Amino acid sequence: KNEVEQSPQNLTAQEGEFITINCSYSVGISALHWLQQHPGGGIVSLFMLSSGKKKHGRLIATINIQEKHSSLHITASHPRDSAVYICAVGSDKLIFGTGTRLQVFP
């Protein structure tokens, strides 16, 4: 069993829809990261959180430490949000999930 599990693996949505991507982990962590990887391959850090909730624009990340679960929400999704979203956990080293491929259609 992977230490970091993401669901769904693939997700398609119509522009404007509310998106939720989930991440569950089985190891003890000090922080959880959400990353975005565009088709060109570059990886960008979206959030690093250890408790509660963070918001940046249309992106919201939440974490429940007791349940070892995090969610990434995208409000009013747009085709430019199409990317692979990756969850990672760790303190000095990161353990990555396999990613969720999101496609948003106009």
Q: Which residues bind other proteins (CB under 8 A)?
A: 2, 4, 30-31, 33, 35, 41-45, 47-48, 50, 86, 88, 90-99
Q: Which of 44/76 has CB closer to other proteins?
A: 44
Q: Is residue 49 within 8 Å of 1, Cβ to Cβ?
A: no
What is the dihedral sign for C-alpha 2, 11, 71, 83?
positive
Query: At 48, phi and psi to the nearest 5?
Result: -130, 120
Task: Supply the minimum distance, in Å, between the C-beta of residue 16 and other proteins.
Answer: 29
Smaller CB separation from other proteins, 3 or 17: 3
